[in-house]
Amino acid sequence: MTMAIPRIKWHWIAGGVSVTVFLLLLAFRLDIFDRGQAPFGQSTDRAVYSGFQTFQDRETWMNISQNGRKIGYAHRRFSRTEKGYHVVESVFMRINTMGVVQGMTFKTEGKLNPDMTLSSFDFDLRSSLFRFHIQGVVNGKQVTLYTETPGSEKKTVITLKESPRLANGILELSGIAGLKTGETRIFHVFDPASMGQRPVKVSVLGEEMLPIMGRKHKARKVSVDFMGARQFAWVGEDGDVLIEKGILGITLEQVAKHEALGDFPRAGISDLTEMVSVPSNVVIDDPSSLTLLRVRLTGIEKNNLFLNGDRQTLRNDVLLIQKETIPTRPLRDVNIIAKSEFLKASPFIQSDNQKIQGKVQELVSPEDPVAVKAAKLVAWVYKSVEKRPVLSVPNALETLNNLVGDCNEHAVLLAALARAAGIPAQVEAGLVYQRGRFYYHAWNVLFLGTWVTADAVMGQMPADVTHIRFVRGEADRQIDLMGVIGKVQLKILERSR
């Protein structure tokens, strides 16, 4: 039986990046992190892990709610084994993305050595249409990752600064029991879904009494700052996390098993895309006709963002965006060699895959000028990929297999096709104007002699100047948007045609 798909509002498809960032933010507690910096010169191993001699097996269930409405549950198990420890966390949620409520499950399983360093892990994410599966084997500071998509397995080896550990225990097992109020510890989180690594600051704020499952519990309130996205947790005296509260109104609270598995509503869930969109102070009737846009950006830290460069110029808080012209001169080999890094395949942009290379051979001719090749690829992705919201980690090969997705899937597929055609390509993410608001969005830049924006969702090359770039790069760069979402304030100062 085919499930009926609700009518999608066109402008919401541009909001797929906000969903990806939300999933990364929620999942960072499931991922792996490096050894923390011990406070005030203490030894990290002694400060963080001295309590493991008395560690007991534990199992917890938690409700996940958004703005007071239950949207899912989490189940966590931590147990001893002959070789160390075993950690399993399973999560089920219903998420409203672009007007469509979808179910999603993900599971993280980790095997730990006696000193709590990671031996191996398995991360699996499934939604109604897509699946993302990654496994990792750890040898000291080196992690060998295996990403799996239908018909393809990709092996990637990365080296971390320190031996990785599981972030399931960033609160339960991070040694906060040894920290005094006001003290802080820094961790470096590695997220296998995006293969990015970023610092997390954990601070003890004080003690409170909380009612949990009909009993009052003494808890330590902890602040968790991840890329500017601040969350709070309350940790009980036995080390269990009792409550977590994050951005976008998300709360996790420890409950009994029957309550976690109980029914919860299928309707009335807040739409993430609309929640994080930014209102515009003016209405733009025809964004594609603009050649210049000047905006004031406030409310955010700009250090981790790529606001200045190529068609964007930043002066203090004022950002000028000028529409590019497509170069007419032939692209010389020396230019391509200088950008060869952006021709390489990656775990999510599989430009070396035979199926992707075969599709490029169908779409372009070797004799086509580079700008013609790029235009053909943008037009094909625009026409061929059905525009629907997707809950998964976007990757090019799976998008080509399914020909369905939001802005993230369009962007990774175009990047893979362009690289396979010999065109250096990257993914950009930021904001784009649609119908009175700015939505979080992903698109591409293609090197045609200079970097030129291309938006396969909208069929634009160059993309219109309401595309405001915050980050550029692989999937790991979207982590940097976590400190932006819900904070940015934008005012249009000037627009010209």
Query: So what's the pLDDT on residue 377?
Result: 98
Token pair, residue 454, equals 């291309």
Q: What are phi and psi of 302, to 5 degrees?
A: -100, -5
pLDDT per residue of the chain (497 residues) written in tens, 0 to 9: 333 333 344 444 555 666 666 666 555 554 444 433 333 333 333 333 334 344 567 889 999 998 888 999 999 888 889 988 888 889 898 888 777 788 888 888 888 888 777 888 888 888 776 777 888 898 888 888 887 665 567 788 888 777 666 555 555 544 555 678 888 887 766 666 666 666 778 888 999 998 988 889 998 898 888 777 788 888 888 777 889 887 778 888 999 999 999 988 777 777 778 888 899 999 999 999 999 999 999 999 888 899 999 999 999 999 999 999 999 887 776 577 778 899 999 888 999 999 999 999 999 999 999 999 999 999 999 999 998 887 777 889 989 999 998 898 999 999 999 999 999 999 999 999 998 999 999 999 999 999 999 999 999 999 999 999 999 988 767 777 877 888 899 999 999 99
Q: Tell me the residue type at 180.
A: K
Nearest to 300 by CA among 64, 27, 484: 484
Nearest to 314 by CA among 119, 117, 470, 496: 470
Beta bridge partners of 157: 144
Supply the pTM of this predicted model.
0.82
Query: So what's the pLDDT on residue 31?
Result: 45
Interatomic CA distance for residues 91 and 131, integer angstroms: 15
Contact 200, 174 (CB under 8 A): no
Residue 137 makes CB contacts below 8 A (sequence gap 6+) with 119, 120, 143, 144
Tell the residue number behind the tokens 């982590």, with chain if given. Answer: 479
Query: So what's the pLDDT on residue 113?
Result: 84
Query: So what's the pLDDT on residue 225?
Result: 80
Contact 448, 409 (CB under 8 A): no
Distances (CA, A) of 159 to 194, 196, 226, 342, 349: 15, 12, 22, 21, 20
Question: How many C-beta neighbours within 10 Å does residue 208 have?
Answer: 13
Interatomic CA distance for residues 41 and 426, integer angstroms: 41
Nearest to 375 by CA among 417, 431, 427: 417
Task: Name all domains of the chain by residue range, CATH numbers in brackets.
Answer: 29-260 (no CATH), 277-496 (3.10.620.30)
Interatomic CA distance for residues 126 and 355, integer angstroms: 23
Contact 276, 248 (CB under 8 A): yes
Query: So what's the pLDDT on residue 320?
Result: 98
Query: So what's the pLDDT on residue 171?
Result: 59
Contact 200, 187 (CB under 8 A): yes
| DSSP 8-class letter at 345 | -
Contact 428, 442 (CB under 8 A): yes
Q: Tell me the residue type at 228.
A: G
Token pair, residue 49, equals 């892990």
Q: What are phi and psi of 310, to 5 degrees?
A: 55, -120
Interatomic CA distance for residues 113 and 316, integer angstroms: 49
Beta bridge partners of 37: 186
Burial environment of residue 392 by CB neighbours within 10 A (0 to 12, 13 to 18, 19 or more): buried
Residue 303 makes CB contacts below 8 A (sequence gap 6+) with none
Query: So what's the pLDDT on residue 230?
Result: 81
Element (H, E) at 354: helix 354-363
Tell the residue number behind the tokens 């890094």, with chain if given. Answer: 341
Beta bridge partners of 380: none
